[in-house]
Structure 1
Amino acid sequence: DAAGDPMHFTPHDFRRIFATEAVTGGLPVHITAALLGHKRITSSESYVAVFQDELIRTYRSHLAERRSIRPAAEYREPTDDEWREFQQHFALRKLELGTCARPYSAPCQREHACVRCPMLRVDPRQRNRLAEIASSLRERISEARHNGWHGEIEGLRISLQAAESKLVALDRQARNTPTNLGLPHLTPRN
């Protein structure tokens, strides 16, 4: 060892050393598991010692390999216009009710009818505003019924259902607090 004293190993230590060397040398963990006679990969994973420098080296090697097989154009610096467009996308994600989770460069599927959109992540602080919108939608449905605007009613009903669904989700999220189950008390057996 580092102090110059002889080291003592058990056969099991050699299994662990083998597993670590095999996996860090590039052998897939499922093959290592088969060689060790393990039925579950998780058993072999517990044998493998992963050190921080090895983790970083392996990750960098993986990135270099992935980049070598991808087109070089994907790794170029974006132009000023491309960067402004990218930043603008994230500026447009900020909405009155919360945040639009639509991925970059994806078109708006709901034509900015955000209350209906499943990509809207409602800010819990905006619950009262969402409740006002739902109330307004109910009033507009009554007005549309009164005036015989049947086509309008269906669209308003869809928006109301979406708003009510988002309100229920917000309320569920607000109630979702951990429950303390306490610790079990063991009683001695007779």
Structure 2
Amino acid sequence: MPLLQVAPSKTDSERLLLARPKLADILSAITRRLRGSSHSIPLVTSYEVHERIWNPPMPLLFQRDLGIEHRAFPRTALRKLLINTPATTGLTDACGEPLVFSPRDFRRIFVNEVIMNGLPPHIARVLCGHRSLDTTTGYKAIYPAETIEGSPRLLRPSQGCPAQRRYRTPAEEERDAFLAHFEKRVVSTGTCGRAFSSPCVHEHACVHYSLPRPDPALRGR
């Protein structure tokens, strides 16, 4: 199994990832193109925007030939390539607008895909190099369809209970008692929080305060 080793990044931790066959094939094609007739990838320098320093020469995969020189792709060039690629393919979103990607969007897409396909979030955290699980779960979008589909699985009763008992039609007396309970809750301002069919501990004394008080000038009427 091909493994991809990620050098320490902003978290100062090294990662070892399993490379799928498609990813291994892409990395192999990039490596062959960069090597050319030589046996090694050319060493190029790159500028670190946040640290504002030039990194030492490294065998970067994102590099190109400019004349007789090998130069690393700057971040602006990579972002421009990501913007131009969907535009040339005509890909659009659900509203018909052209798709616009940023490099970080692919991290969000990756986290969504792996978690939705059953990967535990704490394993996705290690793959992404996050220190906190909250960061990983923040990348994961929760769609309404997931909520609708996941709720029945959580609320599904035991299989031993017959379906006739789980979904029986309530009797008229039960329905009237249920509706009458909520009518009483409204009368007693609805703040008691008492359980269904239980009596009001206030003996409905709060009804006096919940009703609109008449104007003293109109009491004679």
Q: Settle same-fold status: TM greater than 0.5.
A: no
User: TM tier, shorter chain?
Assistant: 0.3 to 0.5
Relative to total residues, which structure has the larger strand share, 1 or 2? 2
Q: TM-score normalised to the size of structure 1?
A: 0.44
- Larger RCO: Structure 1 or Structure 2 (Cα < 8 Å, ≥ 6 residues apart)? 1
Which structure has the bigger radius of gyration? 2
Q: TM-score normalised to the size of structure 2?
A: 0.39
